[in-house]
Structure 1
Amino acid sequence: MKKVAILIIQISLLSVSFCFSQSKDPVVESIVKEATEHSQLEKLAHELLDVIGPRLVGSPQMQQAHDWAVAKYKDWNISAKNEKWGEWRGWERGVSHIEMVSPRVKSLEGMQLAWSPGTGGKAVTADVIIVPDMADSTAFQKWLPTAKGKFVMISMNQPTGRPDYNWQEFATKESFDKMKKQRDAQTEAWTNRLRKTGYTTRTLPVALENAGAAGIVMCYWSKGFGANKIFGAYTKKIPTIDISLEDYGLLYRLAESGHTPRISVRADAKETGVSGTFNTIGEIKGTEKPNEYVILSAHFDSWDGGTGATDNGTGTIVMMEAMRILKKVYPNPKRTILVGHWGSEEQGLNGSRAFVEDHPEIVQNIQAVFNQDNGTGRVINLSGQGFLNAYDYLGRWLVKVPETIKAPIELKFPSIPGGGGSDFASFVAAGAPAFSLSSLNWSYGTYTWHTNRDTYDKIVFDDVRSNAILTAILAYQASEDPVKTSREKSVLPLGAKGEPATWPEPRKPTRRGGLD
């Protein structure tokens, strides 16, 4: 079935492309011209990423971003609103100053994690120790009082700060293999060390906090690429800080060799109480079938180690730019075109799942959802998500996309529903045809995804512009298509153990989180 479907779509695109070459579409030409000659992408990215900055759910910056997006859409004569779906713990980041004061003085690169308690406007100075390798959890419990008044390091020290591609280019094969073997052994040993404490990576910081530790020091390094993953803290009274690999290694080696390092940490943070959480929804009303919908989709929130440039600032500005272009060159679509900027994707697709739950009348009449959420690269993959006839309508819509944009895209039909890590999965789980515009890697997973390096300078605007053109054309074609898309599902293959695979079940969103 899958091979036949792929063959059909390839033949269809080739044959219809020949017809298209004889007859250009003025709307498509206008989309390309507007996107190329009057792009707003750089301006949108600057205002969102540089001026507003990171968009942690529940933070004032998240609300500022929602209000900014609504104002932008209204400037473009697009109806828009912020739609509340729940509540979250309000928290605002302040400055993080981390210095080593002994055995010498050095400013360290690091920051507190999201939702970390602050230090009350003053610096906390204390010795740094490493969580020990004890025989078992009983021995660790006896050690715990030793942590009182200390900063405790709970991450492995990496054997190298060079990315793997650097080793591949310059090291001998023997040297590279030796390093990887050493790294694997250290990783296994560190995993065993933590396991023997009797705690998990989530509960260990809390145990140390309860024992009176001054703070938690960690380094979640993206293996092979030199960027620190920045997530959330589990402590409620003491700061949890993440330090760059280079400076973490320095502290670790000093502590290990007996030259006890001492650090001074000032971490400002403000609890802002219970905060409303929102989705920003924009709309270009349909003229012939206003109760059928094409939805452009991207999550709006981010982790706040960087500014969320490629996760998901790029997806956000692609959808905003596509809406701007469509309103200008295709202001009266046949079907209603919506854009959804979802809140709290990072905590479990909460915003999009809430929208699906709150708007069954929209979900049952969706023509297509196009979601973008995996970095700055040009789109190179489009999967049918298990919808049996997706090759038919996606094939029709792709035909009018310029060849330079269309050629690199690999089509997989019918494929199986997957990629539950982004918002299109909320719609697929409800039976609506929703698709991920999956992008070229650009080291997304190891360099910018959830790291402190996810900033404006990592955006490749030529690729983002290509994606805005693709999205606008797909939305235009989906709106114009005289046929309502089929929701017939393919028969899923058996799982790895021979059991029948199943379609994802809709889950209820977490409407109130991070408030305990």
Structure 2
Amino acid sequence: MMNRILPRVFLAFAACAGATEARDAAAQTFPTDDPVIRQMWEEGMGEGSQAFDLAQALTDSIGPRLMGSPGFEASADWLLSKYEAWGIEAEKQEYGTWTGWDRGYSHIDLIAPRVRSLEGMLLAWSPGTDGPVEADVVLMPSVGSREEFDAWLPAVAGKAVAISFPEPTCREDQSWEDHATEATVERMRAARDEARRAWFGGMRNVGGDFAQRIADAGAVALLTGRWSQGWGVDKIFSSPSRTVPGLHLSCEDYGLLARLAERGQSPRVRIDARAEFLGDVPAFNVVGRIPGTELPDEYVVLSAHLDSWDGASGATDNATGTIMMMEAMRLLKAAYPNPRRTILVGHWGGEEQGLIGSTAFAADNPEVVDGLQAAFNQDNGTWRIDYIRMQGFTGAGAHFGRWFSKIPVEITGHIELDIPGVPETGGSDHMSFICKPAPGFRLQSNYPDYRQYTWHTNRDTFDKIVFDDLRNNATLAAMLAYQASEDPERVPRDTRVLPAGRGGGPGQWPQCRPPRRSAGG
């Protein structure tokens, strides 16, 4: 029975959302009689949208897309097959190499003083255990000096060492504020702050190489816990060592092991975690193109990173951005197949490692940078685009004003334009263009619950996507690309220069550096 019910639930979910947007499309009053805008709306917001099917395939079937992993390679091949089916030129553009790594399964069990299966997983680029291993758990102490730490190190031989701060509570702050007395909340926060000061003060005394020193001293495994401050959600990053297994545990289970170890109750774990290093593998971007007819050497770029961390499925970071730009290209090919300027889409690799793919693209394709009309980047979660800053490009606001005047208010009405704004000194792949400086803009969605619940966490999965918003965003991207392509004028490159201490000019930003071509350099 369940095998029949579950597909019907998902199909009903997708059909219901699509039908709602179809009714909206039928009732839509357009600010222009432009047939391209109308066709994009009807196809992108109605039942013709492919956002649901694309997102499900990318996040559920392919899954996480860690840089250098088979999942990243599979996602790129999938993109190329989709673009070929839509009649859009696309290719892999290699720019270097990366350390290949393939995740297997992770099993972590507490076997003493009681038995419990623990919620956790091997961290990225960690070696596996080469079969099951058992070890007692010790908690790294808070020490007063590096010498005190060195004196403790011999105790880690043959042990699984817990190296993260053990959170006193895994109950989110909002729950405390909603249900506890004010005095209780104050006492909880004071105790937590004191514990954190003591722990991180000790960490500063130890030095930044503490994890590798523990590994070199004979530890069997390194155990970490990094809580996102939300219910059941943890940040999942890379391993602190490439020589012994690094494993992340949930806030609750990491706290359990830490308390048992701290109180001398002899916790012991059994770990069976598999992974394989694959040597150096090609590093690449996937770039698609709809050639321009009148100004082929001027470019509009749709931008989103394809890679993800692999603690979950990379749904909102950044499958949503990937699908948004795929759908926008599909809409453009259907409604605007012969653009005035060349329209590119960049699905970047290595964003999570420091904007590696987009930085390499900007370095390797100077003709695109020189001819750039505008780049539109998206990289933060679900929810509708609600904020676009002009990144300090003083003439960009007038262009956005003209473009927005032809886009339905159902899309533009909830978007704040920050004119002229200030250049970001961090962030995502639009920085690779701003650094030149060339006009790059971030199509930004609401941040707070993304940061707490899905950004780099073990809960970034398909079910978190809001498809009304994803359709809206894809349609917006297509309409912006169309307007930017048709604009009779170039977006000027004049920029504000920030005062000293606020970031200076583009050449002074840490992101504006030569591209990194390998994992080692």
Q: Provide TM-score, normalisation by structure 1.
A: 0.92
Give 5+ residue unaligned stretches, structure 1.
1-19
1:400 corresponds to which residue? Answer: 406
Q: Is it true that 1:40 corresponds to 2:46 in the alignment?
A: no
Partner of 1:484: helix, strand, or coil? Answer: coil
Q: Measured at CA, do residues 52 and 419 of structure 1 come closer, stay the same or move farther in structure 2, by a change above 3 Å?
A: farther
**Residues 436 and 506, structure 2, Cα contact 8 Å, conserved in 1:** no
- Partner in structure 1 of residue 107 of structure 2: 97
Contact residue 165 and residue 224 of structure 1 kept, 8 A: no
In the TM superposition, residue 429 of structure 1 has moved relative to its aligned partner by 0.2
2:181 corresponds to which residue?
172
**TM superposition shift of 1:428:** 0.4
Over aligned residue pairs, what C-alpha RMSD do you find? 1.5
**Aligned residue type for 1:308:** G
| 2:129 aligned to which of 113, 119, 135 | 119
Match of 1:199 among 183, 194, 207: 207
- Determine the structure 2 residue equivalent to 1:428: 434
Secondary structure at the aligned position of 1:48 is classed as helix
Q: Decide whether aligned partners of structure 1 residues 491 and 510 sit closer, same or farther in structure 2, where only a CA change above 3 A counts.
A: closer
Task: Tell which deviates more after alignment, 140-149 or 412-421.
Answer: 412-421
CA distance in 1, matches of 2:214, 2:242: 11
Map Cα deviations across residues 377-422 of structure 1 (whole Å, 9 max, x no partner): 1111110111110111111111122112111111111111105220
Do structure 1's residue 220 and structure 2's residue 226 form an aligned pair?
yes
Task: Tell me, yes or no, if structure 1 residue 464 matches structure 2 residue 467.
Answer: no
* 2:165 matches 1:156: yes
Distance in structure 2 (CA, Å) of the matches to 1:236 and 1:367: 43
2:172–2:231 Cα contact (<8 Å) kept: yes
Q: Which amino acid aligns with 1:45?
A: A
Aligned with residue 64 of structure 1, among 69, 74, 79? 74
Per-residue deviation, residues 225-279 of structure 1 (Å, max 9, x unmatched): 5421111113232110000011111111111221111000011000111100110
Offset of residue 187 of structure 1:
1.1
Tell me the CA shift for residue 133 of structure 1: 2.6
From 392, 396, 403, give the equivalent of 1:386: 392
2-side partners of 1:237 and 1:292: how far apart?
48
- SS of residue matched to 2:441: strand
Match of 2:360 in 1: 354
How far 1:313 moved relative to its partner?
0.6
Number of the residue aligned with 1:26: 35
Gaps of 5+ in 2: 1-28
Matched, 1:322 2:328: yes
Q: Secondary structure at the match of 2:284?
A: strand
Cα 1:429–1:37 change in 2 (3 A) is same
Selected match of 2:263 from 257, 260, 271? 257
Corresponding residue pairs, total? 489
Q: What whole-Å deviation, never above 9, does each CA across 1:319-376 have from its counterpart, x for those lacking one?
A: 0000011101111111111000000011110100000000111110011000000111
* Alignment partners' CA distance in 2, 1:277 and 1:164: 41
CA contact (8 A) 1:58 1:276 kept: yes
Q: Secondary structure at the match of 1:395?
A: helix
Contact 2:98–2:519 (CA under 8 A) maintained in structure 1: yes
- In structure 2, relative to structure 1, the CA distance for the partners of 1:476 and 1:305 (3 Å cut) is same
| Residue 224 of structure 1, CA deviation | 4.4
What do residues 283-316 of structure 1 show as CA deviations (whole Å, max 9, x unaligned)?
A: 1111111111100000010111111111111100
Residue 414 of structure 1 aligns to a residue in which SS?
coil
Shift of 1:493: 3.8
* Counterpart residue number, 2:26: none
CA contact (8 A) 2:225 2:254 kept: yes
In the alignment, residue 119 of structure 2 is paired with which amino acid?
E
The alignment status of 1:187 with 2:196, answered yes or no, reads yes
Measured at CA, do residues 435 and 22 of structure 1 come closer, stay the same or move farther in structure 2, by a change above 3 Å?
closer
- How many angstroms does 1:494 deviate by? 4.6
Aligned amino acid, residue 31 of structure 1: M
SS of the residue corresponding to residue 258 of structure 1 reads coil
SS of aligned partner of 1:220 = coil
Q: Is the alpha carbon distance of 1:248 and 1:287 closer, same or farther for their aligned partners in structure 2, counting shifts above 3 Å?
A: same
CA displacement, residues 431-467 of structure 1 (integer Å, 9 cap, x when unaligned): 1101000102361111111111111111111111111
Q: Which runs of 4+ in 1 moved over 4 A?
A: none
